[in-house]
Amino acid sequence: MSDTAHNNKNNNVDRDAIHEAAVSMAEKYGDEHRYIIEPYDILAKCWANDKQVSEGGLTVVIERSIFDRIRIMGEVLQAIKDDPKILEVPITKPIFIIGYMRTGSTLLHNIIEKDVNHFVPPLWQLAEPLPIPDGKEKSDDPRILGVKNFSEHYNQIPGWLQKHQAFTPYALEECSGQLGKTGCMKELLLGGQNIEEYTQWYEQLKDEWKVSMYEYYKKELQLLAYKQGFGSRTYVRKDAQHMANMPALLRVFPGARTVNSIRNPIQTIGSICSMSYTVNQAYYTPDNLDLEAMGKRILRNADHIINTYMDYREATDGPDKSSANVVDVYYNDLVGDPKGTLEKIYTKFNIELTQETLDNVQHYLEENQQNKHGKHVYDISTYGLTEDEIKRVFKRYIEYFNVDCN
């Protein structure tokens, strides 16, 4: 796609302004950042022509997902330009939890975070990384209050979010916000109902583009750690998108260690659909949500991510299906014995598991028992899906990891 203007304001989306913001930011900080222009152009076009999106939902997409991310990416790059020592922060052997969504990865994230030697920035720092956090901010910090207000808005959506109150300024969050600043936005891939052109762009991404995305992502991680230990603690991050990007991830983070959480895909897809129905009400009214199209979109995303990851594992694993930098963790083992699962991970990565960490994990588990907010109930047929088509998409995954789908 060229950098020419669009002269289009469909749906009150000023595509010219979005294009110009992306171009201006990229040109200001070097031509190597021009890779972000195309996805922002495509997103603007998709949402400009979405006839179902609510007025409030469109505001969230345009202001927060698009303009805020362009702004923050520019601010991060400016902070680094002003203080190049940020790029000296070492990120040594980070741990990435890469399992697909709803496979226990959030539980893993929370228990691994309980090790005081690990660094897991909270949501408010990821959402508003400047001024550079030093870990001493007070609860009345405007950035914390801003994220609190936004979180409360999401937590009011009936369903999964309202029940779990999952968003808080201090919650652990995925990498999608940082990766999204480059134009690769998971929430809009799964949430948009007029997103076909963007989906095709995403599915055809080349490794060099992904490397550029991770190079920016690393800079943001370095900035967040600059005044919070300067790399003395091990980063722990989580996002299912990494499964589709392993060569690029390891090129930028050559010492990275990964944890792959595994679950019955019928349960996984059903849970994602149910959660997405709630989350997508940030963009659409319930009456305007096409549940069957949502189910197909979610399964298509899974097909791309899971089978791209299977290509990587089959090409790099040893004869016993293992790799030096990967631990495979099964959902039932994780929820049945979280501390035993943690010990398995620490043993594989040669990390000392202290009594302090075990005590911290035990306290977390006591405060956050499974089904604390009620059992998550869902039916894949509500989203136009069948067990057989889910099994077909996950066929290699099921066979390779010997997943019980009963």
Give pLDDT tens digits for 172-186: 999 999 999 999 999
| 24: number of Cβ within 10 Å | 12
Q: Is the pLDDT of residue 385 over 80?
A: yes
Residue 157's pLDDT band (cuts 50, 70, 90): confident
What average pLDDT does this structure show over 246-275?
Answer: 97
Provide the residue ranges of all domains of the chain, joining segments of one domain with +: 1-82, 91-120+172-400
Give pLDDT tens digits for 78-93: 999 999 999 999 999 9
Residue 378's pLDDT band (cuts 50, 70, 90): confident
Give pLDDT tens digits for 55-112: 999 999 999 999 999 999 999 999 999 999 999 999 999 999 999 999 999 999 999 9
- Comparing 118-132, 244-258, 314-328, the range with the smallest average pLDDT is 314-328
Q: Is the pLDDT of residue 234 over 90?
A: yes
Q: Is the pTM of this model over 0.75?
A: yes
Give pLDDT tens digits for 307-353: 999 999 999 999 888 888 999 999 999 999 999 999 999 999 999 99
Q: Which of 3, 4, 35 is nearest to 181 (CA)?
A: 35
Does the domain made of 91-120+172-400 have the CATH classification 3.40.50.300?
Answer: yes
Give pLDDT tens digits for 188-206: 999 999 999 999 999 999 9
Beta-bridge mates of residue 128: none
Residues 356 and 350: their CA atoms lie apart, in Å, by: 17
Q: When comparing pLDDT for 377 and 372, which is higher?
A: 377
Q: Is the pLDDT of residue 160 over 80?
A: no
What average pLDDT does this structure show over 113-141?
Answer: 95
Q: When comparing pLDDT for 3 and 235, which is higher?
A: 235
